[in-house]
Amino acid sequence: MPRITLMLSLCLLPLIAGCGSQEAPKKEAWQKREQVYTDKTPEEWVELIRHSNYQARSKAIDALVQYAKDGEDTLPALIDILRDKTAGQGRLAVARALGAMGSKAKSAVPALAEALADTSWDARDAAARALADIGANPEVAIPALIGAINDADVRVRGEAARGIGRYGSGDAKAIDALIEALGDESATVKARATDALQRIGPKAKAAIPALEEAAKSPDIFGADAAKRALESIRGN
């Protein structure tokens, strides 16, 4: 019996020691983050985003997003890399960083819109995704995303549809583009377009006939999504 008691006491010691000290792990995590992101200047992190190693680029993205939250403006340097056609994977890393910064990366929207005309599908895909995540400067972003609805690559078309939905634009050309996307050969693009119309809501009334047709689809998931979009548009 004493042996069992001793074993239980040893098992409970770590739990008892942790009681009342919940702030300690948080402080440790904060210190770790500071150690990671303050061992280089913002300029050095910008250069690392061009690195050939994926992990190095990912670490640079995290650092630059943190710097953006802290008010450090690295956007001009990142935009320069985005426009540098020789930067390779660095351009994709920049697009990821800009998207993660959200509306703080508003000034990068024109450069991302330009990237939607890139010859590389992954650059176009990254640009469309970033525009959707930034959600700012709609007068530049939305026309670019509307054009990307007809992209040759299915991934780009899907991101373009998602982006229009994220902006919530009721622009007639945007709604027409989403209606066209409802007839896309890709189920993913259709789903993204349907979701976008649901997000836009009453401003997407022109899409009602196309969604009513989609609601009759033998594809149960697609039909249900179309019905939800119709409810949102009609205000049900």
What the block records as the tokens of 63 is 């650092």
Measuring CA to CA, which residue among 62, 70, 58, 55 is closest to residue 37?
A: 62
Helix (H, G, I), strand (E, B) or coil at 83: coil
**Residue type (1 letter), 112:** L
Helix (H, G, I), strand (E, B) or coil at 235: coil
**Residue type (1 letter), 116:** L
pLDDT in tens, 25-77: 444 443 444 445 667 888 999 999 999 999 999 999 999 999 888 888 999 99
pTM for the whole structure: 0.78
Alpha helices for the chain (secondary structure H): 2-18, 23-37, 42-48, 54-69, 75-82, 89-101, 109-115, 121-134, 138-148, 154-167, 172-181, 187-200, 208-214, 220-234
CA 3 vs CA 9, 14, 16: distances in Å: 10, 18, 20
pLDDT in tens, 69-121: 888 899 999 999 999 989 989 999 999 999 999 999 999 999 999 999 999 89
pLDDT in tens, 147-200: 999 999 999 999 999 999 999 878 899 999 999 999 999 999 999 999 999 999
Q: State yes or no: pLDDT of 211 exceeds 80.
A: yes
pLDDT at 36: 59
